[in-house]
Structure 1
């Protein structure tokens, strides 16, 4: 073995003490990291805040501070002579980790290794908080979806009862009257049968218009605008420019449902004589759907719950677009109408 390969031996008691302290420091850092991971992994959503407080205190003591706590909206690493702030991070998460870890009451200056260990603790905390936020978001989305399904089922049930069922009952009665072969009764029965078929097609189109699957988003929006005009709404449809190709099915469905929900909201909340502009555009690799009305408007924060009461809701619309890596922007104010813009990347 060469002289370079020979490990250096401690020369005196001072060297031994330094090696011992370094080993103890490494062991302490490892112990804090292992225990932090165990505490956070074993926490439930209800006990996570208490677990975070426990881990924050342990990280503070490791770094030479009297106390540690997690606060919200304190990005960046900063501090003063008595404190230090570490941002919470969550690598690979699509949910922004809130806040930062604040260490206060410095008793000794942390080493570079201590700072690295605290940064790892911040990743553990950030990942746990992000996971809880993601679970809460999914639970909220599921609740919106179930509520939307119940609203849709209720709407379809009313339409079937008030339209299809009534027409079917009238047709049955007319067929009974036409059992003697009276030409007038038979003609009326044919007319009622045609009306029943039209009513069934209208209900089916309300659930999912066949034109969306057969011809695509642009014809489906044209059909939607025509139905809105037939109901008395003043609506302008703009395709600018005509993309000349269809978006993927998931994007078609999401944009159509958002347009449908936006028109329903305008009809229910914007007030009488509302004018609506529905616009679809494609450019720079993104699909853009905008719906603007000149109605009474609303406060997007204070009025959100009431505005959502009659449909799938703005929160559900936003979640649906974000699942496609897009974004939904809603601008409104009392007396200033409402503007909705959905943007989705083409692929």
Structure 2
């Protein structure tokens, strides 16, 4: 993994860990607050229910207080009291009930089938002895007793809060109760709402974390792209500088060879020829001297020819002196002479719109293309070069009538596509383009470079 990607990764991971820690802390605090809220609401509900029950019992006691305080504790008075209490109800499930201290039901307006039954041993689904607990609380002075009882409106067991008092003079336990399933429903709604709030909070934290990570990744990607573009621009400038340096060095070496060594060799040749002429006047040594000097003269001619070839390959003087078209015409003539292949060169339009670097690049591309034809092209009998130009670009077309080759295969082979790669890299330094088309009818190499400023960047 590249260093830039590691830096982005090391920036994202701590951020995500921080968001994870925040999410866990928020979850813990939210859960704790929800529990406290539930407990507070439950206590408030219970306190209100307790006060309500105490009020109901007070009303019930007030309703029968005249009978209870009378001096006639006979059966008729008690029956009148039970009748009054049976009519005191509130809502569908609010009623009063009466038991004696032995667990016998004396009055139950909602479940008359219980009247007269001994319920001392009655237990709820949790195993609690309901009636015994109610009587015990009444004998202790009265108060609240939680228990499970069948709800008349649904005929299902439900939690209930009862409030009981003892009527000692009559041996009664008077009580009433409120079912708590509505409290449980309210508390469940609170739990559901809290769970939704926690889920929503976690969703927002997750969303913010993901968006933050994406923003960091995108910023890193944008930075990488920007750096890549800057690096690419710097590489292009460096490549142009290298090419320019190479060409300057080649031009300097070409001048040195031509102006220095070439002139020295010419001077030596002239001196040899002069010596040869002088020896011609001495018949005794004429033949030997003539042979020696003639061989030396031939070798000097070969050296001068090789020197001119090297100097021209390094930097053709005609490219600087007469321009691109003349240099190409000379190149075509030299290639035809060395390869024995006829080369037709033609120049059209305005072909002097390139910079010195652009001219050099296009000339090197032409050299590379002709060298490839000479070395690799099969069944070639004719080569043509067309140099054309306008206000937008300078275009060079080199074509042959050979058997062609697989362009994609050669370009994808690093060992065989060096020539094409060199041409493309040279053209890239001046924002040029290279196109290669090949089939059984021949091959076309097209190199184009923007005119004016495009070729100078």
Q: Where on the TM-score scale, by shorter chain, does this alignment land: which range? A: 0.5 to 0.7
How far apart, CA to CA, are the structure 2 residues paired with 1:323 and 1:279?
Answer: 22
Q: How does 1:177-188 map to 2 (within 5 A)?
A: 178=276, 181-182=279-280, 185=290, 188=294
Based on CA coordinates, which of the two structures has the bigger radius of gyration? 2
**Matched residue of 1:325: which SS?**
coil
Please tell me whether the aligned partners of residues 291 and 341 of structure 1 are also in contact (alpha carbons under 8 angstroms).
yes
Residue 220 of structure 2 corresponds to residue 121 of structure 1: yes
Q: Residue 285 and residue 131 in structure 1: after superposition, are their counterparts in 2 closer, same or farther (change >3 A)?
A: closer
| Residue 227 of structure 1: how far off its partner (Å) | 0.8
How far apart, CA to CA, are the structure 2 residues paired with 1:229 and 1:265?
Answer: 14
Please tell me whether the aligned partners of residues 326 and 344 of structure 1 are also in contact (alpha carbons under 8 angstroms).
yes
Residue 430 of structure 2 corresponds to residue 324 of structure 1: yes
Q: Note the alpha carbon deviations across 1:101-149, whole angstroms, 9 max, x for none.
A: xxxxx9844599846655423312433555677789999x79x98xx99
**Matched residue of 1:289: which SS?**
strand
| Residue 303 of structure 1: how far off its partner (Å) | 2.0
Q: Note the alpha carbon deviations across 1:181-232, whole angstroms, 9 max, x for none.
A: 1367288355654454333222211222111111110000000010111121
Provide the residue aligned with 2:316 in structure 1: 209
Q: How does 1:194-343 map to 2 (within 5 A)?
A: 194-231=301-338, 232-241=340-349, 243=350, 245=352, 247-304=354-411, 305-308=414-417, 313-332=419-438, 335=440, 337-343=442-448
Aligned residues: 238
Q: CA RMSD in A?
A: 4.7
Please tell me whether the aligned partners of residues 63 and 118 of structure 1 are also in contact (alpha carbons under 8 angstroms).
no
Q: How does 1:65-80 map to 2 (within 5 A)?
A: none
How far apart, CA to CA, are the structure 2 residues paired with 1:239 and 1:317?
Answer: 21
* TM-score normalised by length of structure 1: 0.53
Please tell me whether the aligned partners of residues 402 and 442 of structure 2 are also in contact (alpha carbons under 8 angstroms).
yes
Gapped regions of structure 2 (runs ≥ 5): 21-203, 255-261, 453-457
Please tell me whether the aligned partners of residues 280 and 289 of structure 1 are also in contact (alpha carbons under 8 angstroms).
yes
**Matched residue of 1:303: which SS?**
helix
Q: Which structure shows the bigger proportion of residues in helix conformation?
A: 2
Q: How does 1:143-182 map to 2 (within 5 A)?
A: 178=276, 181-182=279-280
Gapped regions of structure 1 (runs ≥ 5): 1-44, 65-105, 157-163
How far apart, CA to CA, are the structure 1 residues paired with 2:441 and 2:14?
Answer: 52
**Matched residue of 1:319: which SS?**
helix
Q: Residue 63 and residue 340 in structure 1: after superposition, are their counterparts in 2 closer, same or farther (change >3 A)?
A: farther
